Amino acid sequence: MDLILGLVGLRINLKVIDKMEKVNVVLKLANKISNKKMGSKNGITVLDPEYRILEPVVTDEMAEVGLFLKFRVHQSAEDIAKASGLAVEYCYQKLLELADAGVSFVNNENGVDVFWHDTWIPGVMEMMANNLPNVKKHPEIAVAFNDYGIVKGPKTAGAFPVGKGLMRVIPIESAIKADTRKASYEEISGYLDEATVFSVSDCACRTAREAMGEGCGHLKEDMCIQLGHAAEYYIRTGRGRAITREEAYDIIHRAEENGLMHQIPNLDGSGKTHAICNCCGCSCFSLRSAEMFMNADMVRSNYVAEVDEEKCVGCGECVDNCPTNAVKLGQSLCSKTPLVEYKTLVTPRDTDFTLDMFNENYRYNREQTVPSGSAPCKSECPAHISIPAYIQLAAKGKYREALKLIKKYNPFPAVCGRVCPRLCEQACTRGDIDDPVAIDDIKKFIAEQDLVEENRYVPEIKHDYDKKIAIIGSGPSGLSCAYYLAVEGYKVTVFEKEKQVGGMLMYGIPGFRLQKDVISAEIDIIRELGVEFKTETEVGKDITIDDLRSEGFKAFYLAIGAQKSRSLGLENEDAGNVFSAVDFLKRVNVNEQAELKGHVVVIGGGNVAIDVARSCVRLGARQVSIFCLESRDKMPALEEEIEEALSEGIDIYNGYGPKELKKVNELVNEVVFKKCLSTHDEEGRFSPLFDENETYEVSVDSVVLSIGQAVDSDYFKDNTGVDIRRNNTIIADSLTLQTNVKDIFTGGDCYTGPRFAVDAIAAGKNAAISIHRFVNVGQSLTIGRFHNPFLALDKENLSPISYDSIPRQVAKGDESFASHKLFKETAGLLTDEQVKLEASRCLKCGQAKVDPFMCVGCGQCTTKCQFDAIKLVKVYNEEGVTFKKLKPVIVKHILKRKIKMTFNKIKDKFKLRRS
C-alpha cells in the first residue's frame, strides 16, 4: 500500500506546475499520446510515468515531430511534414528515431514507410522497454513502465467487464481441446495460423523487472512473439528477430513446459492481435492487475479451472504452476468443524476497493496451502515431494512417470529409499488408524529403475547458460545443487577432497544400509547431465576460491558437510583403540578397518552410533554395547534402526554418560560411566545432569565415540570472509542460503549442523534456485518464491474415516543370521503386486482447491496434472472489442456496477435496521 500511496501522492502533492512545463515539448507529446489536454486537471505532468518514460530518450526535436503522429492512423513522412510545416527529410529522420525509441510504429506499405502511435499499454511502454540498450542506459524507463500500472491499477479495479481488458489470457490450447463450446479467438493456433510475419523478442515486463533488480528467475530472452505489423516493426528496429511459424509454435510449447502462460493485446478486435506474450505471475505487469489489484476480470479468459474431487490426489503440481496463486492445497477428508470455503468473498465487481484492500506483497506472500492445511506427508517431507502423486502413479503401474515426478524434488530417490528417516510416514494420516502407508518402500521400488542404465530417468537440459558454477563438497547437498543447476543448463564443477564422489553417502553410511553401487548409479546420472567432478582437490589447500573466481566461476555452493567428530574432552581419548565414528565408518567403507575382537563399546545414541555398532558386529566383535545419555524413548536414533540393532544382539544401556577412560599399556581397557538423570534443563536446552556417585565400569577392547559431528569451516572463515557461528556452522539467509559474501551460498550439514540426507538434498535444490537468480543480471533472490510454510491438516479435527482393511505390505528381506555378518543390504523390495496394494491404502487426504475469482483461466494447471483431475470450464462468453468501441462498453459497465453497489448498500442498511 505504501508504494501505491507514494505514486498516487505525486499527483496529489503537485499544486504548482513549473513554468517550464508550458514549453516542454516532450510533456506535450506525453499528453498527446494520452489524449489529455496539457495543464488540465487530468493532464499529464512531469511527475507522471507517461512523461518520465519519454524524457530520457525523446529529444525536443523528436517530440516536435511526434506531436503530429496519430493514433493508429498510418502516415508517411510527407504527411507529417505537410501537417507540421517541417522538411520531409527532417521529419523522416525524427520519425525513425521515435520508432527506434519505441514511441511509434514504422512499417513499409507499398514501398513507403508509414508511422503511427498506439496506446501506452499495451503499446508504447512495451516497445520502449524492448529497446534493451536504452533500458540499460536509462533504467528509469523500466521504473516508469512499472509505475504506470501501479498508478492506473487502483482506478481500473472493477471498471472493465470480463473479456474487455487491455490484455487477455488465452488458454493453453490443450486445456480446451475437448471443449466443443470454444471459440476460435480462444485458441493460440488461430492467431499463429492467420499471421504471415513473425518475430520473437525478450519479454518487456521481465526486461523492466530485471532493470529494477526485481527479476523472478523467469528469464526474458526469446519469450514474446509479435505478429504482422508488430513483427515487421520489431524486426526492422532490432527489438526482435524474424522467426518462422514453426519456430513460433516451438516457443509456445517451450513456454508452456517452463510453466508460463499466454496473453495477447486485446484492443485489436475479436480474434485479432499483434502479439502473444508468454507470462509468469511474478513479473508480468498485466497479471499484476489480478494479483495486486484483485482485478482478475481485467485479464481473464472465458474459462475457470475446476477440480474433479474424485480424481484429485492433492499432489500440488497445479499449485506450483498457477500464476495467480488461485490454486492451493486443502483437504479432501471431512472435518468435525466446518472448514472455511476457499474463495475470494469481496471483489471489485461490487465493492469500491480502498488501497489497504489490495495485495501489494503478492510476489512474496504466495501460499501453497489453505489455512486449514493439506496432506501431512507432503508437509513433513523436507523436500516437499509430491508424495500423494507418486503413490497413485505407482498404483497405476506408471513407475517411470512416478520416478520423473520424484526427481523434480529429489535426484536421489534410490538413496533416500534406503536411508530416509520417513518423516512422511510418521505424519501419515493412515498411521492414526492402523499403520502408515509404506511410502518409503514404494519410493524405493520406483527408484529401482535408476539402478539399471537403460531404464534411468535423465531429465532434459532446459537451457544453455554459458556460466560456470563451483560446488565444494560432493555429499547429498552438493550433488543435489549440481543436479538442478545442470538441468537448468549451467556448467557445473564439483570439487571433492576425497578419492570418491558422494561425501557422507559414500563414506559415512555402511553398505548394509546403502550399497555403493546405488550411490554410484545415481551419481552417474549427474555425470550424464554434464557435471564435471574433480576429486582429490581440496578447496583451500589445492585451490582457492579466488583462484576459481579468476577461472570464471560465477558462484559457489559450500556443501562441505560436518565431517569432524566431536570429542568428549576426557583424558586418553587419543588411545590407539579409541576411534571417532566418522573415521571409523570411513575406514569401514573403504575396506581399511581391521577386524575387531572382544567387547566394543559405542558411546552415543543416534543413527550413526547404531551404524557403528552394527558394523562392529560384522567386523567380528564378540560383544557390542551402546551407551547413551538418553532414555530408550528419547534416543535420537530412529526406532526402526534401534530394533535392528537389538535384533543383531547389540546391548543398549540408556541413561549413562562417560566419566573416565582408563588406560593400560597405551590402550583403554575400561570405561567408567556415570548415571544421567536428565539431558535437558527446564528451558529445553541440552544440559545433562549426572549423579556422580552412581557409576558403572565396563571392560572394553575398543571404544567408538559417536557423540556428534562438527563442521571444519576454518579455511572459509579465515580466507573468504564468510561469517561463521560459534559452533563453526556457516551463516546464511534461511530462504536464499546466500552468505554475507554475495557469490557464496551454503547448505546442508555445514549450515544446519548434522541432519538427514533428505534435508541436505532439499537445501541443494533451494540453493540452485538462488544461484540461478544470482548469476543472471537483475534477478531478485526472493521474489516469487514460497515464503510461507506448508501447512498440514489437523488430524484431531477429522471426522471418522472409512477405510479398507488391507494391512501394510512388508518387503521380504534377508533375515538369516548370516546377513548380520555381511556388509550387504538386507532390506528387501516390495513386489509389483504389493506396491499396488500398498498404494491403495493411501487415504488421499489432500486435494486442490480453486478460487474461481482469482483463476484467470490460463490452463497451466491442466498441463501439469497427471491424473486429469483439473480442467478448464467455460464460465463466460465474452469477446474483445477494438479500442474505438471500448469506451462505451466501460461506461455502461461502470454504471451497472455503481447501481449494484448502491443497491447492496441499501440492502445492508435494511438488514442492519431489522437486526
Window from 253-262, 345-354, 574-583, 658-667 with minimum mean pLDDT: 345-354
Q: Which of 127-131, 684-688, 695-699, 864-868 has the lowest mean pLDDT?
A: 684-688
Please write the tens of the pLDDT for every residue from 414-435. Answer: 999 999 999 999 999 999 999 9
**Tens digits of residue pLDDT in 109-139:** 999 999 999 999 999 999 999 999 999 999 9
Q: Residue 13: which pLDDT band, with cuts at 50, 70 and 90?
A: very low
pLDDT of residue 903: 85
- The packing angle between helices 77-84 and 88-101, to 10°, is 110
pLDDT band at 15 (very low <50, low <70, confident <90, very high): very low
Q: If you ran DSSP here, which 8-state letter would residue 791 be given?
A: P
Q: What percent of the chain shows pLDDT beyond 70?
A: 97
Grid coordinates representing 560?
562441505
Beta strands 553-558 and 744-746 are parallel
**In whole angstroms, what is the distance from residue 387 CA to residue 138 CA?**
48
Contact between residue 603 and residue 704 where contact means Cβ atoms under 8 Å apart: yes
> Judging by DSSP bridges, how do beta strands 198-201 and 167-170 pair with one another?
unpaired
Average confidence score pLDDT of the chain: 93
Q: Is 466 exposed, middle or buried (0-12, 13-18, 19+ CB in 10 A)?
A: exposed
Structure confidence by residue, pLDDT tens digits, 870-907:
999 999 999 999 999 999 999 999 999 999 888 888 87
Which residue type is seen at 676?
Answer: C
Give me the pLDDT at residue 126, please: 97
Residue 73 has pLDDT above 50, yes or no: yes
Element (H, E) at 724: none
* 695 SS3 class: strand
Whether the per-residue pLDDT at 2 is higher than 70: the answer is no
- Which neighbouring-strand residues pair with 200? 225, 241
Cite the DSSP H helix spans in 299-412.
317-321, 376-380, 387-395, 399-407
Nearest to 762 by CA among 474, 427, 301, 382: 382
- pLDDT above 80 (res 6): no
pLDDT score recorded for residue 7: 52
If you compute the radius of gyration of the chain from its CA atoms, what whole number of angstroms results? 33
- Quote the pLDDT of residue 23: 64
Contacts of 775 (CB under 8 A, 6+ apart): 465, 467, 469, 490, 554, 555
Residues 403, 414: Cα–Cα separation, whole Å: 10
Q: Where are the beta strands (DSSP E) in 349-394?
A: none
Confidence band of 800 (pLDDT split at 50, 70, 90):
confident
The confidence band for 807, taking pLDDT boundaries of 50, 70 and 90, is: very high
For residue 434, give the DSSP letter. Answer: S
pLDDT of residue 14: 45
Residue 281: DSSP 8-state: T
Q: What does the alpha-carbon distance between residue 186 and residue 140 come to, in Å, rounded to a whole number?
A: 36
The distance of Cα 455 from the centroid of its chain, to the nearest Å, equals: 28
pLDDT-derived band at 1, boundaries 50, 70, 90: low
> Tell me, what's the pLDDT at 11?
45
Pairing of strands 198-201, 224-227: antiparallel
- Name the pLDDT band for 17 (thresholds 50, 70, 90): very low
Q: What is the mean pLDDT of residues 442-455?
A: 89
- Is residue 394 within 8 A of residue 442, CB to CB? The reply is yes
- Tell which residue, 127, 141, 125, 113, has the closest CA to residue 231: 127
Between CA 379 and CA 387 the distance in angstroms is 10
Q: How far apart are the C-alpha atoms of 220 and 202, rounded to whole Å?
A: 5
pLDDT tens-digit map of 608-649: 999 999 999 999 999 999 999 999 999 999 999 999 999 999
Distance separating alpha carbons of residues 393 and 865, to the nearest angstrom: 11
Q: What is the mean pLDDT of residues 257-279?
A: 95
